[in-house]
């Protein structure tokens, strides 16, 4: 019996001798490594989730963001025109009408000289930013600032006045043309223009004056067809242009109106207002942050619980295995 006990003791001593001093820290090192990996996986998953939420929310949020800036641009323009004296507004309107008269007499109005381009850019530029007024379209609840020209920069955020056409201040022998994008994921702009019908109205607001037009012609043409934009003697026209069909943009939708007296009842359409758009944007940002935070916390708890179960069981199994070796 003593010999058997001595043999076990000798075997135990031999086993203990085979264990290297550094072997005792391996479980702790493994724990730290696993914990670091867990944190990395939680971070990656959270970033991926936030990115997915961002992609889902981008079109809506971007549209709100642009509409907020559009509403501020219109509000700033209105405030600026109110600060002008009556004489200043009258002088600017007179300059615009004189510009339209010269344009109607110009046989090559689509090709401007540098001097003509400078004159165009300076006329009706109240704020120095290129905004000449704004357009309202009650049926589709659109209120957009109108800027000089139709550059990509302008059309991404607002409506653009087509150079070579009359300025939108009304008058005989004029034809003002304003263009805007349709179907952009980042901005509504003139999306819905195809819903207008004959008899609907739209209006330009320039220097505290309103010019109302009633739709009398709706056409779809190729981009190269510009005959319907001609200035007709004695007529007072305005045309809104956008691309069509959605996503293809191979043609242009032209919605033309003729000038009518301003309605006696003020337009009561609920357009975007700066304060309301700011509140909506703040609410959306807050909601996204809240959802992302909840998702991050929930994901972290899920990963950590999974890690504890997995590694806790492994640790227990290791302890039992170690006890078995020792006898």
Q: Which of the residues are catalytic?
A: 181, 243
Angle at 82 between CA 65 and CA 126, to 5 degrees: 70
Task: Identify each DSSP E strand in the chain by its residue range.
Answer: 131-137, 142-148, 159-161, 174-179, 201-206, 209-221, 236-244, 251-260
Token pair in block for residue 171: 């008058």
Cis? peptide before 236, omega within 30° of 0: no
CA dist 238 and 177 (Å) reads 6
Q: Which of 123, 254, 75 is nearest to 179 (CA)?
A: 254
Q: Which residues contact 80 (CB under 8 A, 6 or more apart)?
A: 126, 127
| DSSP reduced 3-state for 322 | helix
């Amino acid at each position: 019996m003593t010999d058997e006990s001595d043999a076990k003791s000798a075997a135990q001593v031999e086993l203990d001798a085979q264990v290297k001093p550094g072997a005792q820290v391996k479980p702790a090192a493994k724990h730290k490594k696993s914990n670091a990996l867990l944190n990395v996986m939680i971070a990656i998953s959270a970033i991926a989730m936030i990115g997915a939420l961002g992609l889902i929310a981008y079109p809506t949020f971007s549209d709100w963001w642009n509409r907020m800036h559009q509403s501020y641009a219109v509000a700033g323009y209105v405030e600026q025109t109110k600060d002008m004296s009556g004489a200043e507004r009258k002088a600017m309107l007179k300059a615009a009408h004189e510009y339209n008269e010269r344009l109607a007499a110009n046989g090559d109005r689509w090709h401007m000289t540098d001097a003509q381009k400078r004159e165009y850019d300076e006329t009706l530029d109240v704020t120095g930013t290129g905004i000449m007024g704004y357009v309202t379209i009650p049926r589709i609840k659109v209120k957009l600032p109108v800027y000089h020209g139709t550059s990509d920069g302008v059309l991404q955020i607002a409506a653009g006045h087509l150079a070579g056409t009359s300025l939108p201040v009304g008058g005989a022998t004029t034809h003002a043309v304003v263009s805007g994008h349709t179907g952009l994921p980042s901005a509504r702009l003139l999306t819905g223009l195809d819903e207008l019908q004959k008899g609907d109205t739209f209006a330009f607001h320039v220097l505290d004056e309103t010019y109302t037009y009633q739709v009398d012609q709706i056409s779809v043409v190729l981009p190269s067809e510009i005959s319907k934009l001609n200035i007709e003697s004695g007529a007072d026209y305005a045309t809104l242009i956008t691309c069509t069909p959605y996503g293809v943009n191979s043609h242009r939708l032209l919605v033309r109106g003729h000038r009518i007296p301003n309605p006696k009842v003020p337009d009561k359409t609920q357009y975007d207002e700066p304060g309301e758009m700011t509140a909506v944007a703040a609410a959306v940002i807050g909601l996204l942050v809240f959802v992302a935070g909840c998702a991050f916390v929930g994901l972290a708890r899920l990963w950590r619980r999974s890690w504890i179960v997995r590694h806790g069981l492994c640790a227990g199994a290791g302890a039992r295995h170690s006890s078995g070796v020792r006898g």
